[in-house]
Structure formats: structure tokens, C-alpha cells
Amino acid sequence: MGAKNLVFGGLCLTGVLALASSLRPRVTPEQWQDFDPAPYKQAGFKEAVAKINRSFRELWLQAGLAPSPKADDLAIARRVSLALTGAIPSLEEVRLLQSRDEAHRIDWWVAGLLKDRRASDYLSERFARAFVGVIDGPFLVYRRRRFVSWLSEEIHNNRPYDELVRTLIASDGLWTSEPASNFITVAIKPDDNDVGVQENVLASRVARSFLGVRLDCSECHDHPFQEQWKQSHFNGLAAFFGPAENSLVGVRDGRSTYQVEDRDTLERRTVEPSVPFLAELCPDAGLPRQRLAQWVTHPKNKAFARAIVNRAWAIMFGRPLVQPVDNIPSEAPLPPALDVLADDFVAYGYDLQRLLHLIAASEVFQLDSAADPNRPGQELTERHEELWATFPMIRLRPEQVVGGVLQAASLATLDYQSHVLFRAIKAASTNDFVQQYGDFGEDEFSDRGGTIPQRLLMMNGELIRDRTVEGLLQASSRIAQLAPDDATAVETAYLVVLSRRPLAEESAHFQARLRGAQSTDRNGAMEDMVWTLLNSTEFSWNH
Amino acid sequence: MESLNTRRMSALASVPTANVGVASDLLGSGWNRRTWLKTASLAGAGWLTPLASMLARADEQQGGRQRAQSVILLWMGGGASQLETFDPHPGKDISGGTQAIETNVSGVKLAAGLPRLAEQMDSISLIRNVVTREGDHERGTYLVKTGYSPLPVMVHPTLGAILCHALPIGQTDIPRHVSILPGQWYGRGGFLGDQFDAFKIYDPLNPVPDLAARVPDDRMQKRLDDLQVVENAFARGRMARAKATLHADTVARARTMMTSDQLDAFDVSKESAELRAKYGETPFGRACLTARRLTENGVRCVEVTLQGWDTHASNHDGCKTQNNILDSAFAALIADLKERGQLETTIVICASEFGRTPSINGFGGRDHWPGGFTVALAGGGIRGGRVLGRTDPDGARLTPAQGRKIADIHATILKAVGLDPTVENIAPGPRPIKLSEGSAIAELLA
């Protein structure tokens, strides 16, 4: 009974607040107020951005490509929001953005979001996929949620990335009180009588996530395509995890060693820990996992910085600088921007937030995804895509779609401070929807084509219906009721769903739909419009 | 026949398909490996891949005997005990008391719980010596459904996705790859793309979710007209790119499906009560009947899952319950297909991720056993009434040399639908991956 009253009370309160706020909210949330543009005006920051820009300009010049023009600020803001928070900007945020000085608008936006809890919550989930995967893992000794919320805290506090990774690899202790140790316990052997870990799983994680190398093939044989990787490399890396075991006091190093079975003779032999390259960077003394952690994160181990740069780039653009995200060749020619960013990352203390901001500040991130209207007849080609001369168009991830739908249904920003009612709805319908829409799992950045069930879900699914039909809190109803005229109503709906203003012909078309419609009819027309915008290519893609 | 097949495939090999084009592009362009070209060319060619259109043309010219068109996979989730189903060893210690019954093929016996199926045995062949290395549910399921062991570097497509990718669409409006009562690891497109994932439906008693529009027809049409206005605006300056997303295409296909007469295929209530009773009024029985209705409408692969075979405890009781459900549904499906003249064009497979141990544990259960278990095959030109391979009556594990590889079963099915298993798809990397690495089992192909 008490709970029911509380929910009802909450509903009434939210309703009153919702009606009280106009379509032009004026409040500036606190993380936006203390933005200091100084770090982004520093010579080092500007130099790095200029270097990245130059490197791409050169590529385009050589290839004879004219890049897309700079995108509209709102389009850039949408990309930043999708990358950092998994949702589109709210109307409230759009208004805030429009109120800022144009020169620093995007820097201000990126810096503000990086301080926002929504960003650390979302980024921690994205990084966790690389660090521990998506599976539920061994019962009792593995707590994924605990791991993710710890990671979120670390990202929020901008813990230097090298420290963070050392903690993961070398963590000891209980998976509950030392959440980082879940990095190890996720790989505990499934056999109840064995306290050891699956060394090969952890070796493969370290190689892929922290070094950008797929050594997995070398687990069973020498690498068929990249000749430098031998089976002995993989085994040597796995051997660092040989002594790791789970005990009553949690993860620690015991006395066991890593043994492999010869596939032909079935003989077992012990493998000593060894690193696959730059052996001189690996300390000789210390516990095995600590030695490995030191080697992986050594400032001279370039693979480490490159791997995270490539992943950060992929999170921002939806597509890594070098494909696939976790396999960066050490020899082949690499895009120069990779090393510009990697060098800056090491020089500025492994600062993740700075890295993400640098990428967002680069010219390529701010390019339009369409051709220059001042060069009629110019078609964007595959070559433009390849050389980043236009912003890549990437299908939104399922949680971004649902984040977008939920945000579009509300005029105010949905975040961790929002009313508890909204958050409950968000958690429940996100998961359900993500399930049905089809999650990407661990394989984060492969483009795999859309499906009919996804379209059916967007056209006829419950979530879309619930988010568009008439209701006290729905954006569509509120716009229909509160907008002073049809033109404003259409513009507001476009800003809310697509984060842009309508073109003249769009505005005219939808104004005609609204013209003269009163009350229920007007709500219906607005519902139709929001449904249409939600089902467009533009909504479902990052562009 | 054989030579014709070879000729066709070698002709295919010289056709610069979209996939091959991508491969050379990828190899040539150093650090960038975008598949834009692939999507773009797909958009242009509609949904018919070059391989598919070649096959379609070849089919038109070929005439002659009709070959298999569709596959129905009866998936025994959890790992069915071979000893209580297709490979009984009555009187032996490992039987744990399970009896065997005669079938309509002399000398071939089934476990006692499958009397109706025994009457259809002349249409079904059993491969009793399947051996794999995978004793884990997820890994075993992956291997049996894709024909490949799991690799960390890529996800292989399952058989249904391979078929939908390679075979022409024809007049089918509804998804051509369907999983009924799907488990956790249902048919996936893997590196071929999510568009080849199975369309999931549950107990056919209930309507398929999200198929009905939420507004009346005229209002829906108005919405779709409006959508064109928004799409046109977005296409400005990025016409080709917007097209390459295939978004509009997928919307149109979803719309076609929503309004298609073929949706009737999902509705088992259209069948007589008598026939439904034969299949059994269970979710699995209804699902098998739906599978037949779907393949009639050109659906290439239907996967029907019967969960509950993971009998670590009380194996014999568990198998009894399961066999009751399986026996009516499987037997009715074969009889029904035969009666309608569709058994020749429809392959039915009954398989699970592994078998169960010959020894019985302390809880009266049997544990995971990839060391010798049975896959049953019927229809689609595959010979019936044969038994291939045998397991040890005393329960010894078969060596790989004594066993049959899963890949060989894939190759056999691919052959039966007219595909050359050695044809390659291009996985990211790029690496060429054969449709199957196995060799077709000659004794089973007519």
C-alpha cells in the first residue's frame, strides 16, 4: 500500500513538474557550470589536434579527395552524446547548447559530458565488454555488476589508464571487496575441484584488450596469417597466470605452474612465463602477474597505448581507426593519427578523458556525413569512407536505440538524478528491448546489417507505442499541447527526436498534418510524427 | 548429375562475386578494411547475392529431379541420451534397463520410448558414431549447428544462415530462417550478417509478436508516406550512403511481411484437430507442424527446439517424458511430409550438442558425452532406413578415427540441397571459409 502511494505521489509530482517546465528549460545542471576551457586551449592539446588534422589532410590531398564540410554543431553534439552516454541529447540539453558561445560550444559539451555520471556509467559498460566480456561467468565467485560499477567510478575519477590496467592484471583479494579481481575470477576453471584459472582465456584477453593483438590462433598452432606469432608466444603469456588461484581470501598467486599438453604425444610439460616481444621491458623479479602488468603498461610498450587509442576511436566513431579493433598490425603502415594520439596519451599520463576529448576535437570527428552542398554533383565514395574524409555512418547499437527512444519521449534530460520512476522504466525496458533487438555481445564493432525483427520492433513494438501515445509525460503530447504554433511544434519534435531543425519542405509537410487539428486529433498527429521520425534511417544511424 | 554440379560451381568460382570483390579490396588497402562496398553492392542487387542468382539461373536450366529445398532441424537441447533414443544397447550394463523395439526396417532397433517413430524408420537414417571434442553445451551447440569448432576470432554462420545466404529467395515474404521455441544459442548469421539470424517465435498457440500495426491501415499508410519525406531529406548529399544502410529496404520487407498472406503459415489453428493430435498438443508438437507449414511457403530452415534433455539426474524418467513428446511430433512430421509429397524436398535432422555417458552416475543420471552419439537424418533425397557406424556395447569412447565428424553431416546436407560444400564465403580477416570442411557421406545420397 505504502509503495503504491509513493509511486502515485511520484507520478503526480513528476506530472506537475513536467507541466510547470516550459518547452524551453533554463536550468543549467551543475557539471556544466564550472567548465574551464583552459586545458583545451593549451598549446599541447591544440598541437595534437593540429597534427591529427594535418595527417588526414595529407592523406586526402594525396588521394585527391575533397572532404565533407564541417557538420552542424547539433549533429556533432548528437555523436558525442551517443558515444559517451548511449543516448541522444535531450531538448533541455539542445537549448543549453544553443545558448553557449559558438567558439567553445563543442569543447564545452564534451568536457561537460565527460564529467557526467551518465558517461562513466556508459563507458564502463563499453570497456567491460573488452575486459571481462558479457557472460555471467562462474556463479558466486564472479560479480559483473560489481566490476562495472567499480570501473565506472575509476573512469569518473579519471584514474590513469596504466594504473587501472595494472590493477586489473595483478589484482588480488575477494571479488566482492576488490572488484578489480573479477577480471581474474571470470576465468576461474569451471571444475569445482580446481581452484586455478583458465590461463588461456586471460592471456587472450590481455593480448586483445591491452595490446591489440589476437594471439588466440597461436593457442593451438603458429599463427597462420601473421607469421610473427608462435604458439610459444601464447603459452608464455598464459604462463603468467599459472599460479593464480581462487581461495578463501580471494584471488592470489599459489604454487602451481602453467602446463600444456602436447597434442601429438599427449605429454604434459611446464611452460615458463615469457612475453612475446620487447622482453627487455619485463622486470625479472616480482610476482608473475605484477611483472606482466609492468611489461604491458611500460611507456615503451607502444602496443599498449595504440590498443586503447584504437578502442577510444571506435567508441567515438563507432568504427576503429584500424580494423578490427583488437588486432593492430605491428608492421603494416598505420594511420599516423594512431601514433599521434598514442604518444600524447603516454606523455599526458594515460588520461582517458583527454584522449576522448582529443578525438572529439579533431576535424575528422566534426565532418559532416553528407557531401558539400556547395559542390553540386560531388558524390561521396568508398574512398572517402576509407580515408575518413567524411563521417562514417554506423548503425546504432541496441542500447543507443533504446536510449534514444526513451530520451526522445522526454523533454528533460534523463540521467542518474532524474526521478526514480524514469530510471526504473529505463532499466527495465532497456534490457528487454536490447534482448529483442539483438545485442552485439563482445564483438563490439562489426557491422552486420539490420534485421526485420528490429524494424518490426520499432514499428509495432510495445516500447515505441508506450513512448509515443498520448500521456501526461510524453514529449509528443506536451509538444502538441504547449507549442504556441504548428511551426514550433514541428521544429521541437525534430529537435527532440533527430537533434536538428526540419528542412523547409519537411516543416511545410508536417505543419499541414497538424493544421487545424484540435486536442485529441492534434495529439494523434503528433504521435504519428514522432513515430515517423523514430522509424527513419536518420534516427537509427549515427551520422 | 555430378559433372553438372562441378561445372556449375567452377563457373561460379570465376564469377567476381561481391564477396570476392571485397576480399581483394581488403587485401589491397592496407590498414582500412571497411565493408562499405559490400553493403553498397548488396543494396544495388536487392537481396539476391550473385551466388544465389547464379544458382537460381542454373536451377531453371537444369530441370529434372527436384532437389531438397528446405531443412527442418529438430534440436534436442541439453544433449539427448543416444542410449534412450536412437542407439539402444538392450541387455548390456550401459543400458540401465532400457529396452529396444523393432522398427519397420528389419535389423534396425530404436529405444522402447519411440514406437511411432519406429514405423517411419524406412524414411530415416541414423549416424550412430558421431564424435566431437566438445563436452560443453555452448561449444557443442556451436559445433553441431555451424559445422565448425568455436574460434575466438570469428563467429561462423549456422547451417540455416548458410542456406539462406546461398539459396534464392523466390516468392517468400516471411523470414526464411526461423527458430521456434529457441534456446539460448539459436541459429545465427555469424559473419554473414545479422540479417541471416533466425526469426524467433515461441509456442505457435500465440500470435507472432510485433507483427500487427498499432494503428489502422490508412493511418499506417500516412505514416509511411510521411517517412518518405524524412528519408528524402536525409538522402541529400548522401544518397548512396543512405541507400547502403538498407534501412528503407528492411522497412519495406518488414512491411511486406506484415501484410503477407504467408503469415497464415504461422497459424496452426488452420490445421485439422486430427492432424494436430497426431503431432501432439505440446508446444514442440505444434512447432513441428508449424515448421511444415513454413517450409511449404519457401522458408529455408526451421529450427525447432525441445529442451529438457540435460538429464544429469534421473535420466530414464527424463527421457521417458521427452520421448513421448518427440515420438509423436517427429513421426507425424515425417508421415505428414510424405503424404503431401514434400519429404523429397525437405530434409529433417534430429540432433543435439552431444550424447550422454554410457555409465550412469549416482543420481541415476547420465553426463555429457561427445564420444559417440547419434544424428538422425531423413528426407530431401537422403536415403532412409540406413544405419551408419556403431558405438561400443560396453561403453568405450570412440576414437576420432572410429567416429564421424559433424562437418561430414553438414557437407551431406549441403550436397542434398545442391550446394558445393567447398565453395567459400569470406569472413573478416579476410579469410575464406568453406561452407563446410567435411565430405558428403556417399552412402546416404541417392
Name the range with the highest mean pLDDT among A517-531, B293-307, B420-434.
B293-307
Pick from B247, B263, B279: which residue ends a domain?
A: B263
Mean local confidence (pLDDT), A236-246: 92
Residues B167, B238: one domain?
no
Residue B195 C-alpha, separation from nearest chain A C-alpha, in angstroms: 5
Cell of A430: 532497456
Range of weakest confidence among A39-48, A128-137, B49-58, B143-152 = B49-58
pLDDT of residue B15: 31
Q: Testing the interface with A: which of B32, B177, B192, B223 to mutate, by most A Cβ within 10 A?
A: B32
Residues B110, B144: one domain?
yes
Q: How many CB atoms lie within 10 A of CB A361?
A: 19
User: Across the interface, which of B151, B230, B236 has its CB nearest the CB of A536?
Assistant: B230
- Mind spelling out the 3-state secondary structure of A103-161? HHHHHHHHHHHHCCHHHHHHHHHHHHHHHCCCCCCCCCCCCHHHHHHHHHHHHHCCCCH
Residues B236, B125: one domain?
no
User: Across the interface, which of B30, B226, B238 has its CB nearest the CB of A370?
Assistant: B238
pLDDT of residue B39: 37
Residues B222, B302: one domain?
no
Instruction: Give the separation between CA B369 and CA B353, rounded to whole angstroms.
Output: 9
pLDDT of residue A329: 86
On chain A, the residues whose CB falls within 8 A of the CB of B29 are 386
List, for residues B141-163, the tens digit of each pLDDT value: 999 999 999 876 688 999 999 99
Neighbouring C-alpha atoms within 13 Å toward the C-beta of B199: 27
Name the range with the highest mean pLDDT among A181-185, B339-343, B426-430.
B339-343
Percent of chain B past pLDDT 90, that is, above it, reads 70
* pLDDT for A285 beyond 60: yes
Q: Do strands B177-180 and B199-201 pair parallel, antiparallel, or not at all (unpaired)?
A: parallel
Question: CA angle A488-A494-A499, nearest 5°?
Answer: 125
pLDDT of residue A177: 86
Q: Domain boundaries in chain A? A: 12-26+393-543, 138-144+159-296
Instruction: Give the separation between CA B182 and CA B170, rounded to whole angstroms.
Output: 26
Cβ-based burial of A279 (10 A; exposed 0-12, middle 13-18, buried ≥19): exposed
List, for residues A194-231, the tens digit of each pLDDT value: 788 889 889 989 999 999 988 776 665 565 455 667 78
User: Could you tell me what percentage of chain A is helix, strand and coil, using 3-state DSSP and rounding each to the nearest 5?
Assistant: 55, 5, 40
Residue B241 domain boundaries: 210-263
Q: Do strands B424-427 and B431-434 pair parallel, antiparallel, or not at all (unpaired)?
A: antiparallel
CA A468 to centroid of chain Cα atoms: 27
Q: Testing the interface with B: which of A532, A539, A540, A542 to mutate, by most B Cβ within 10 A?
A: A532
Q: Do strands A268-271 and A258-261 pair parallel, antiparallel, or not at all (unpaired)?
A: antiparallel
pLDDT-derived band at A32, boundaries 50, 70, 90: low
* pLDDT for A419 beyond 80: no
On chain A, the residues whose CB falls within 8 A of the CB of B175 are 452
On chain B, the residues whose CB falls within 8 A of the CB of A543 are 234, 238
* Number of domains within chain B: 2
Cell of B221: 499508410
* pLDDT for B16 beyond 50: no
Question: So what's the ipTM on this one?
Answer: 0.87
Percent of chain A past pLDDT 90, that is, above it, reads 49
Cell of A227: 607469421
Neighbouring C-alpha atoms within 13 Å toward the C-beta of A17: 11
Q: How far is CA A409 from CA A495, A511, A513, in A?
A: 12, 20, 20
* pLDDT for B375 beyond 90: yes
Contact A380 B245 (CB under 8 A): no
Contact A450 B37 (CB under 8 A): no
The set of residues, in sequence order, having a beta carbon less than 8 Å from that of B272 and lying 6+ positions away, is none
Residues B309, B364: one domain?
yes
User: Across the interface, which of B211, B238, B247 has its CB nearest the CB of A450?
Assistant: B247
pLDDT-derived band at A69, boundaries 50, 70, 90: very high
Residues B390, B421: one domain?
yes
Residue B309, domain member (yes or no): yes
Q: How many CB atoms lie within 10 A of CB B38?
A: 21
Residues B272, B256: one domain?
no
Instruction: Give the separation between CA A150 and CA B292, rounded to whole angstroms.
Output: 51
Q: How many helices (H) and strands (E) does chain A have?
A: 28, 6
Q: What is the CATH number of the domain that holds B122?
A: 3.40.720.10
Cβ-based burial of A261 (10 A; exposed 0-12, middle 13-18, buried ≥19): exposed
On chain B, the residues whose CB falls within 8 A of the CB of A448 are 189, 193-195
Residues B243, B351: one domain?
no
Give the nearest chain B residue to A441 (CA atoms).
B155
Instruction: Give the separation between CA B364 and CA B357, rounded to whole angstroms.
Output: 11
User: Across the interface, which of B155, B227, B247 has its CB nearest the CB of A532?
Assistant: B227
Mean local confidence (pLDDT), A187-195: 75
On chain A, the residues whose CB falls within 8 A of the CB of B151 are 216-217
Residue B44, domain member (yes or no): no
pLDDT of residue B431: 81
pLDDT of residue A322: 93
Contact A382 B34 (CB under 8 A): yes
Contact B194 A451 (CB under 8 A): yes
Residue B47, domain member (yes or no): no
Residues B246, B287: one domain?
no
Range of weakest confidence among A4-13, A436-445, B395-404 = A4-13
Cell of A308: 586503447
Residue B108 C-alpha, separation from nearest chain A C-alpha, in angstroms: 38
Identity of the residue numbered A275? V
Residues B106, B223: one domain?
no
Residue B29, domain member (yes or no): no
Residues B352, B398: one domain?
yes
pLDDT of residue A107: 92
Cis amide bond preceding B16, omega within 30? no
Cell of B25: 579490396
Between A338 and A174, where is the model more confident? A338
Q: Do strands A541-542 and B124-130 pair parallel, antiparallel, or not at all (unpaired)?
A: unpaired
pLDDT of residue A267: 80
Identity of the residue numbered B393? P
Instruction: Give the separation between CA A497 and CA B227, rounded to whole angstroms.
Output: 14
List the beta strands (DSSP E) in B83-220. Answer: 100-102, 109-111, 124-130, 177-180, 199-201
Range of weakest confidence among A147-156, A294-303, A318-327, B2-11 = B2-11
Q: Testing the interface with A: which of B35, B153, B188, B299 to mutate, by most A Cβ within 10 A?
A: B153
* pLDDT for A275 beyond 80: yes
Contact A528 B223 (CB under 8 A): yes
On chain B, the residues whose CB falls within 8 A of the CB of A443 are 155
Mean local confidence (pLDDT), A305-323: 95
Q: Testing the interface with A: which of B27, B192, B194 to mutate, by most A Cβ within 10 A?
A: B194
Instruction: Give the separation between CA A514 and CA A526, rounded to whole angstroms.
Output: 7
Mean local confidence (pLDDT), B432-446: 94
Residues B244, B296: one domain?
no
Residue B2, domain member (yes or no): no
Q: Mean pLDDT in chain B?
A: 85
Cβ-based burial of A470 (10 A; exposed 0-12, middle 13-18, buried ≥19): middle
List, for residues B236-284, the tens digit of each pLDDT value: 999 888 988 889 988 998 999 999 999 999 999 999 999 999 999 999 9
The three-class DSSP label of residue B287 is: helix
Give kind and range of the element (H or E) at residue B356: strand B355-356
